[in-house]
Amino acid sequence: MKVFNFCKLYIFKHRLLLIVYVTLVIVTSLSSLVLPLFSGKLVDTLIIGGSLEELFYYCFILFSLSLISVVVGYLVNKLLIKIQTNASFELNVMVIEHVKSLPISFIENSDVAYLNQRINNDSNEIITFSISIIGSIIVNSSIFLVTFLVLIKSNVKIAIVFLFLIIIYTLLYKILKNPLYTKTMEYKESQSHFFSSYNEQLKNVRFIKTHSYNGYFYEKLKHAFDQFLPKVYSYQKISYIFSSFDNIMSTFAQISIFIVGGIEVVKGNLTIGFFTILINYFNMLISSTRFFFNLSKNYQEILVSYMRLQEILSIPIIEDGEKVMEQIDSIEFRDVTFAYKQNTIFEKSSFVFEKGKIYCLAGENGSGKSTLLSLILGLYINEHGGSILFNNEDIKNLNMSSIRLNKIGVTEQNPILLYDTVAKNILLDNMNHENMELLISQFYLNDFIERLPNGINSNMNENTTNLSGGEKQKISIVRQMLKNPDVMIFDEPTASLDALSRKTFIDHITEIKKNKIIIIVSHDSAIKDTCDEIINLDRNLYTDFSHS
């Protein structure tokens, strides 16, 4: 079973817990096999007028077995949740790490809410299924074999009725297998898209309220619902057909054993107590058969989740090179060609960035400024023509993940703030606290931090209502200054800054530029006056370097 083979890596990491879980499941199944024997003995004792000692004995045994079953059941459930939660998390992380290693264009062209719901639901479903079948298959296989042998030994006619039912179940599965898979795939895909529509409503609440677009967004959600609803009906229809046949066969089985067994009781070939035992075992046998029948149904549904995960995992990741740089002295674009969504942005373009200089990227929206920064960061490796060289080494040979972590810093136009403390948002994984207080003071963040309930240890994120655009920008700038990388990239860093903070920024980059390559996207004339070179990307003038 390919789904289980895929999941076992994550499940068997918890093999000790798994062994205990399976052992307890077997104990529970053994208990369930013994119960009918004592129930039948109790019935015969009542009918033939046995002693009170026998009555209390069997009652005590039944109560004890039931109590053991409850206690063991609790432990089984607890272990199941523990294994399932950890294994699901590990599988989720693996898939997310794979997605993070894909070309950035994959994320840019994806509906992230849809992708999130798809990965999380599918990962959880296949792990839950794979863990549950380990214990369930052992238990139901054991029950099936034991009870079937008991029936054959006790009454061949009842065993023949059961074999007939097995044939019917098998034929039904063959007929419904493919339709069930198809409808499940359609349902899950539609469900993920509908979840994305819900997310869009909540994500844009401020925008909706600001422009009073309630009606428009309601219609969008209603349209998504109208697309989703037929898939729900279609899926429920095939599921109901499957379940209905299962219930019909179960009812037929019950009637059959009452007729066959009842005749044997009337003829005096069976006692009431023994007939009770046979009924219980026959029900257990039917239950096990239904388990395998429904397992086949569930497997088709889980197979959809597995195939959707495999579709994501089959997308080739971006492989980092092996070379790591101690320092970056120059970055060169040599005849670089790049197109995004069939729109050519660079065509045989050449630029050089050298240590000790501040560069300004100028141009109208859509001229390629952000794309140029992404190419420098190595986010479009293998998607461009020509060569991008760091210290004359091709970017494809470099470990850009390591270089971005240690040698390049970026301050985004719209800074990303995490739900964490102010201090953690400034430092992230940077352990260098030196100069943090000085930089906070120089960029006039003291007043903002002092107003927070817990100062620099107060929680915040990008949606914090009392956080201005300028304060977000300052936090992002201080974050990069503390990192102190060889290459510093700033995207419109002064757009939201006050005059004093703008002057502080300009003074600071001027002071440190000797050992840095500083690249700034800006329309600010004061920034342009500070730069050593301006690269104008308008009108395809990719190689037009003008000195300020």
- Within 10 angstroms of residue 81's Cβ, the number of other Cβ atoms is 11
Q: What is the pLDDT of residue 407?
A: 94
**Are 223 and 112 found together in one domain?**
yes
pLDDT band at 540 (very low <50, low <70, confident <90, very high): very low
**Are 224 and 102 found together in one domain?**
yes
Structural domain of 336: 330-546
Mean pLDDT of 446-468: 78
pLDDT digits (tens, 9 = 90+) for 53-99: 777 777 888 788 788 888 888 898 899 899 999 999 999 999 999 99
- Within 10 angstroms of residue 474's Cβ, the number of other Cβ atoms is 28
Per the model's pLDDT, the better-predicted residue between 543 and 178 turns out to be 178
pLDDT at residue 543 tops 60: no
**Are 402 and 299 found together in one domain?**
no
Answer yes or no: is 348 within a domain. yes
Q: What is the rounded distance in angstroms from the CA atom of residue 519 to the CA atom of residue 496?
A: 18
Mean pLDDT of 436-454: 88
- Which stretches of 452-544 are DSSP H helices? 469-483, 499-512, 525-530
**Are 160 and 279 found together in one domain?**
yes
Q: What is the pLDDT of residue 546?
A: 40
**Are 334 and 308 found together in one domain?**
no
**Are 291 and 343 found together in one domain?**
no
Answer yes or no: is 322 within a domain. no
**Are 358 and 273 found together in one domain?**
no
Answer yes or no: is 319 within a domain. no
Q: Which of 39-48, 211-220, 468-477 has the lowest mean pLDDT?
A: 39-48
Rank 291-300, 314-323, 329-338 by mean pLDDT and report only the highest.
329-338
Answer yes or no: is 318 within a domain. no
**Are 404 and 489 found together in one domain?**
yes
Amino acid (1-letter code) at residue 474: K
* Percentage of the residues of the chain whose pLDDT score is greater than 70: 95
Answer yes or no: is 27 within a domain. yes
Q: Which of 48-62, 182-196, 232-246 has the lowest mean pLDDT?
A: 48-62
Q: How many domains is the chain partitioned into structurally?
A: 2
pLDDT at residue 430 tops 80: no
- Which stretches of 399-445 are DSSP H helices? 400-406, 422-427, 436-442
Answer yes or no: is 127 within a domain. yes
Picking from 313, 343, 367, the residue at the C-terminal end of a domain is 313
Q: What is the rounded distance in angstroms from the CA atom of residue 282 to the CA atom of residue 150?
A: 9
pLDDT digits (tens, 9 = 90+) for 485-512: 999 999 999 988 989 999 999 999 999 9
Q: Which residues contact 454 (CB under 8 A, 6 or more apart)?
A: 421
pLDDT at residue 518 tops 70: yes
pLDDT digits (tens, 9 = 90+) for 99-158: 988 888 888 888 888 888 889 999 999 999 998 888 788 888 877 887 778 777 776 777
Answer yes or no: is 324 within a domain. no
Q: What is the pLDDT of residue 420?
A: 84
Amino acid (1-letter code) at residue 136: S
Task: Give whole-number Cα distances, 127 to 5, 89, 97, in Å.
Answer: 11, 10, 18
Q: Which of 53-62, 85-94, 343-352, 385-394 has the lowest mean pLDDT?
A: 53-62
Q: Smallest Cα–Cα separation from 463: which of 423, 415, 503, 533? A: 415
pLDDT band at 398 (very low <50, low <70, confident <90, very high): very high
**Tell me, what CATH number does 433's domain have?**
3.40.50.300
pLDDT at residue 389 tops 90: yes
Picking from 313, 346, 371, the residue at the C-terminal end of a domain is 313
How does the average pLDDT of the chain come out, rounded?
84
pLDDT band at 372 (very low <50, low <70, confident <90, very high): very high
**Are 233 and 123 found together in one domain?**
yes
pLDDT band at 171 (very low <50, low <70, confident <90, very high): confident
Q: Backbone phi, then psi, for 283, in 5-degree steps?
A: -65, -40
Answer yes or no: is 214 within a domain. yes
Q: What is the rounded distance in angstroms from the CA atom of residue 7 to the CA atom of residue 13?
A: 10
pLDDT band at 465 (very low <50, low <70, confident <90, very high): low
**Are 26 and 105 found together in one domain?**
yes
* Percentage of the residues of the chain whose pLDDT score is greater than 90: 31
Q: What is the pLDDT of residue 301?
A: 84
Token look-up 């940077």 returns 430
The pTM score is 0.75
**Are 301 and 376 found together in one domain?**
no
**Tell me, what CATH number does 6's domain have?**
1.20.1560.10
- Within 10 angstroms of residue 136's Cβ, the number of other Cβ atoms is 17
Mean pLDDT of 196-214: 76
Picking from 313, 345, 361, the residue at the C-terminal end of a domain is 313
Per the model's pLDDT, the better-predicted residue between 248 and 237 turns out to be 237
Q: What is the pLDDT of residue 367?
A: 84
Q: What is the pLDDT of residue 211?
A: 65
**Are 387 and 454 found together in one domain?**
yes
CB 187 within 8 A of CB 231: yes
